[in-house]
């Protein structure tokens, strides 16, 4: 067990993060949920200091709408328009630390988004070299991941 593995996301936090990431990335729930799961795995593997900082930012993104848009609700409970305005306030914050915290969360989310088979297939990119299950077991290769994603999008 690595040092950073004690910092992660519970199932509830992962579900709430998926709502925020869906709005942040402009993706449907299925992809946003996969990206949130990636984020949780990333936190468990990251060095302790990085994991704690990112986890703190995830908490802040979820629970501070009252500060940024005056709504005493978690971010995952905001309507789409208010959530978009809320995320815009984070991205355009005057404080460097607030802005950078937001963009660090977005950067980690984009790592998971860019590795997602459906996203890669959408842009005609080859799959990642190895596809792993949440437990870390290898479940496929790049060719299999892209072929499966393309088959899944052909019926859409």
Alpha helices in the chain (DSSP H): 11-25, 29-45, 48-63, 65-68, 80-91, 96-115, 117-122, 142-154
| Closest C-alpha among 130, 99, 107, 30 to residue 146 | 130
Burial degree of 124 (CB within 10 A; 0-12, 13-18, 19+): exposed
Helix (H, G, I), strand (E, B) or coil at 136: coil
Angstrom distances, CA of residue 4 to CA of 41, 57, 94: 10, 16, 31
Nearest to 39 by CA among 61, 68, 64: 61
pTM of the predicted protein model: 0.79
Q: What is the pLDDT of residues 32-62, one digit of tens each?
A: 999 999 999 999 999 999 999 999 999 999 9
Domain boundaries, the chain: 3-115, 116-156
Per-residue pLDDT for the chain (156 aa), expressed as one digit of tens each?
444 346 889 999 999 999 999 999 999 999 999 999 999 999 999 999 999 999 999 999 999 999 999 999 999 999 999 999 999 999 999 999 999 999 999 999 999 999 999 999 999 988 877 767 777 676 766 555 444 544 544 444
User: Taking the mean position of all CA atoms in its chain, how far away is CA 47?
Assistant: 18
């Amino acid at each position: 067990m690595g040092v950073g593995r004690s910092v992660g996301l519970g199932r509830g936090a992962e579900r709430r993060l998926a709502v925020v990431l869906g709005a942040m990335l402009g993706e449907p729930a299925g992809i946003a949920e996969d990206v949130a799961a990636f984020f949780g795995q990333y936190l468990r593997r990251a060095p302790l200091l990085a994991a704690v900082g990112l986890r703190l930012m995830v908490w802040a993104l979820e629970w501070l709408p009252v500060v940024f848009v005056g709504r005493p609700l978690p971010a995952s409970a905001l309507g789409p328009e208010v959530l978009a305005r809320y995320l815009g306030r984070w991205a355009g914050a005057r404080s460097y630390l607030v802005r950078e915290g937001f963009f660090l969360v977005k950067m980690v989310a984009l790592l998971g988004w860019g590795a997602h088979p459906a996203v890669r297939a959408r842009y005609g990119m080859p799959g990642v070299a190895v596809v792993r299950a949440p437990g870390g077991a290898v479940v496929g290769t790049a060719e299999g991941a892209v072929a499966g994603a393309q088959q899944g999008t052909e019926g859409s």
